[in-house]
Chain A
Amino acid sequence: MAIFVDQNTKVIVQGLTGGQGKYHGLRNKAYGTQVVAGVTPGKGGTDVEGIPVYNSVAEAVAATGATASFVTVPPKAASAAILEAAAAGISFIVCITEGIPAQDEARTYNTLVRDFPNVRLLGPNCPGIISPGKCNIGITAGEIAELPSASGPNVGIVSRSGTLTYQALYELKQRGIGVSTCVGIGGDPVPGTSFIDCLREFQNDPETHAIIMIGEIGGSAEEEAAEFIKANVTKPMSAYIAGVTAPAGKKMGHAGAIVSGGKGTAQGKMDVLRDAGVKVGQNPTEAGALMAEIVAGLR
């Protein structure tokens, strides 16, 4: 078991003929992911190293039965690509595109909620998702993800930050701890999938025995997650929040990472998570070490 994607997930790549799309699409395929088609308007009938390319998502879905899409198109075209995938029957959309205007994101997200309530969007501006050994959609380097062990315990990872997602994977690999699924939800203001969505899935996934959560300053997603954890999550957790020393009023790279009016501070987020029973580390390594203790207790 894993959450959202596994060895049976058939994936199309919207933007497969572009530089980034080709690079990551082929890497995902080489990892073992079922990358069954690409979509680029006007390039239907061609192929990228044997992967057939279609003019539309609808054609690709009809031909391959794909249920997931990896959207890697420029910011101007991303919203339309996401909605096209949803309309064509894709149920899981991963969008790694960085730099989509917030107004477009808000409109796209709310259109999905209204017209396609069964479609899950991951991202935009996220590293993607990997269920080690089964499926890798996005830009995560598969080799840094430890395979889950049949006997467990295995850890689920959910993170708002790209490189810190890798850091978390790496901390677990160093310690030989298996990963069920690692989800990067992205640092944009309107993420399609929230911490809570992932926590709920991990809580229900029999292969996941513990959870690491990596948050950062800005917004209230971690605070909302803490409330959810208190009420619903019984699996042990460790966490890390980046940006303790970030000054107020400055955007730290991600559009979402900003402390404004004293709200969204790292300290506040760490406090509510601790209050919800989560072991909070002062840095990613400490969060990894805390998870190692948790896992040792489960073994």
Chain B
Amino acid sequence: MDLFEYQGKQYFARYDIPVSKGDVAVTVDQAVAAADAAGYPVVVKAQVQVGGRGKAGGIKLANNADEVRTHAGNILGMDIKGHVVKRVWVENASDIAEEYYASFTLDRGAKKHLLMLSKEGGVEIEEVAATNPAAILMLHIDPVDGLSAAGALKAAVDAKIPEKAQQGVADILVKLYRCFVEGDCDLAEINPLILKPTGEVHALDAKVSLDANADFRHPEWEEFKATEELDAREKLAREKGLQYIGLDGTVGIIANGAGLAMSTLDVVNQVGGTAANFLDIGGGANADLMASALEVINSDKAVKSIFINIFGGITRGEEVAKGIVEALGRVDLRAPIVIRLDGTNAEEGRSILANAGIPESKLTSKPTMLEAAEAAVALAK
């Protein structure tokens, strides 16, 4: 789950990472009130989960209430790369002497935590990595050892952070690492991490991505879930407990297992079609789940055909077939289904489908993934 900047800053504050005084606003009046409370000058920042806000005019400096009114009015409702701005974050403007970069992630190759630290902050870190890789310190941390205060200070020195800022940066690294580990982040990033003319080090931005698997031990994440930006299809799928990702194509996909679902997308693409979604129905694939999955796919107006790709391992073919028949009785589908049912007891499953009295215009069965994909793509054209 990706957090908005303001949520990231609120999350940072829980771990004593210094952030600017500010508040979130959904209306111009709220923005002015937030600015009054934060103290002028303020920065009004669009809250969207996409890069390049500044260039798009989504970040503005305001010296008084009138300017806040103007900028908040312009930014709220603005479209930034397809993301409509629903909220602005208004914070006290900081004087900046220098800009650095710091982040923690899990390096899956090394199976260790990875600190990336650079004195070249304020620009995209990918850009620094491409043009001046030597400017980024990459330090692996054993999750069993963690990051000590001494280790953090050494990292700041090794990254050639200027001496006057080393201690301040090290302090924030220790706090950010705690936030990353105890806060169950996939990513905890500060860019820019600034040095103020007064000598304090401070997080001017926050990019936080949370590990959904750790949800059970973080009741404080509830408020973040409320603002998650999902399209209508994704919202419905989540309510039904399905793994769903909306895409732009015309062939609706239902498969059991993430790998098989990905593979189904690939095969549809190979035979000249486009997938409308990724949907993993999981190992069970019973009637309830199948009905829910068909309901979600049916809510997508772009879908012209539905490709159900089930490989029975533990799930037996006849159970899957019964599930589909039952689901068809519950959901009135707009698009025809092509099914490929294989694996354990697939023969029985196919005969149940063949004898259920479902017209061929609504459901066809194909023996292999490739043939089923071809049939589904033909129907979608």
A269-298 near B? 1/0 per residue, CB < 8 Å:
000000000000011110000000000000
Contact of B109 among A127, A220, A266 (CB under 8 A): A220
- State the Cβ distance, B83 to closest chain A Cβ, in Å: 13
Contact A170:B266 (CB < 8 A) given known A102-B211, A141-B313, A283-B369: no
Q: Tell yes or no: A12 within 8 A of B by CB.
A: no
A261 to B126 CA separation, bound complex (whole angstroms) = 8
- State the Cβ distance, B293 to closest chain A Cβ, in Å: 14
Query: Are B144 and A111 within 8 A (Cβ)?
Result: yes
Q: Tell yes or no: B143 within 8 A of A by CB.
A: yes
B324-354 near A? 1/0 per residue, CB < 8 Å:
0000000000000000001110000000000
Contact of B311 among A170, A216, A283 (CB under 8 A): A170
Number of interface residues of B (CB under 8 A): 50
Segment 85-143 of A: residues with Cβ below 8 Å from B: 99-104, 106-107, 109-111, 114, 127, 139-141, 143
B73-110 near A? 1/0 per residue, CB < 8 Å:
00000000000000000000000000000000010110
Q: Tell yes or no: B280 within 8 A of A by CB.
A: yes
Query: Are A162 and B257 within 8 A (Cβ)?
Result: yes
Query: Are B143 and A103 within 8 A (Cβ)?
Result: yes
Interface centre among A75, A100, A244, A245 (most CB of B within 10 A): A245
Q: Tell yes or no: A224 within 8 A of B by CB.
A: yes
Q: Tell yes or no: A256 within 8 A of B by CB.
A: yes
- DSSP class of B's interface residues: helix, strand, loop or mixed? mixed
Q: Tell yes or no: A208 within 8 A of B by CB.
A: no
Q: Tell yes or no: A65 within 8 A of B by CB.
A: no
Contact A257:B262 (CB < 8 A) given known A103-B143, A103-B184: yes
What B residues does A163 contact at CB under 8 A? 255-260, 311, 313
B141-181 near A? 1/0 per residue, CB < 8 Å:
01110000000000000000000000000000000000001
Query: Are A110 and B213 within 8 A (Cβ)?
Result: no
Segment 274-289 of B: residues with Cβ below 8 Å from A: 275, 278, 280, 283
Segment 175-206 of A: residues with Cβ below 8 Å from B: 187, 189-190
Residues of B participating in the A interface, judged by any CB pair closer than 8 Å: 106, 108-109, 111-113, 126, 142-144, 181, 184, 186, 211, 213-214, 216-217, 243, 245, 247, 255-263, 265-270, 275, 278, 280, 283, 311-314, 342-344, 368-370
* 4 A-B pairs with the lowest CB-CB distances in the bound complex, closest first: A161-B259, A253-B258, A163-B257, A101-B214
